[in-house]
Amino acid sequence: MTQRRRCAGTFLEDAVEELFLENGIPHIRTGSHNQGDIVKRFELHVTPAPDFVVYDSSGSLRAILECKLVNDGGTARDKALRFERLRAESLRLGGVPLLAVLAGLGWTRVNDTLGPVVRDTDGRVFTLATLPDMLDVNPFPSLVGTRGEDE
């Protein structure tokens, strides 16, 4: 792993981006600076855009990924609703896979927090400990090593 200073609020996103870069996965890490570009390029209309969009060599959207760190159940329950909205958008786009990377004690409440996220992502839920396993889940096996040097 590269040595860089990590902000407590973005350590999940930093870990995902590092995994993608190390494995040559074409992606865009979203933020306020590129929301409009995400809408134009991928027709992704959920606001704000998910933390990452993953695409293939032809530029087609292949996955959307959201990271959430929460330490209490009430916040986790509220954040779980975000995945419901992302799921609706993934279905609108033809079933683009939705993935989650979660951390924090808030996700230990299974019935009203973790359960809905597992449902909305079709079980594609990862933690920092299981993050490398994400590369074994579609669409990632076909995308490893396809990121161009100029991206």
> In the chain, what percentage of residues exceed pLDDT 90?
78
| Band (151; pLDDT cuts 50, 70, 90) | low
| Band (126; pLDDT cuts 50, 70, 90) | very high
Q: Which pLDDT tens digit goes with each residue over 138-147?
A: 999 999 999 8
3 pLDDT exceeds 50?
no
Consecutive H or E run containing 27: strand 27-29
Angle at CA of residue 127, ends 121 and 133, nearest 5°: 80
| Spatial contact of 64 and 44, defined as CB atoms under 8 Å apart | yes
Q: Which pLDDT tens digit goes with each residue over 56-95?
A: 999 999 999 999 999 888 888 888 999 999 999 999 999 9
How much is the average pLDDT of 129-150? 91
DSSP states of 47-94: SSPPSEEEE-TT--EEEEEEEEE-SSHHHHHHHHHHHHHHHHHHHHTT
In the structure, how many helices (H) and strands (E) does the chain have? 5, 5
Q: What is residue 74's predicted lDDT score, i.e. its pLDDT? A: 83
| Band (149; pLDDT cuts 50, 70, 90) | low
Q: 44: exposed, middle or buried (C-beta count within 10 Å: 0-12, 13-18, 19+)?
A: buried
Q: What is residue 90's predicted lDDT score, i.e. its pLDDT? A: 97
| Spatial contact of 100 and 124, defined as CB atoms under 8 Å apart | yes
Q: Which pLDDT tens digit goes with each residue over 18-35?
A: 999 999 999 999 998 999
Q: What is residue 4's predicted lDDT score, i.e. its pLDDT? A: 41
pTM of the model: 0.90
| E runs forming strands in 86-132 | 98-103, 125-126
What is the chain's alpha carbon radius of gyration, rounded to the nearest angstrom?
Answer: 15
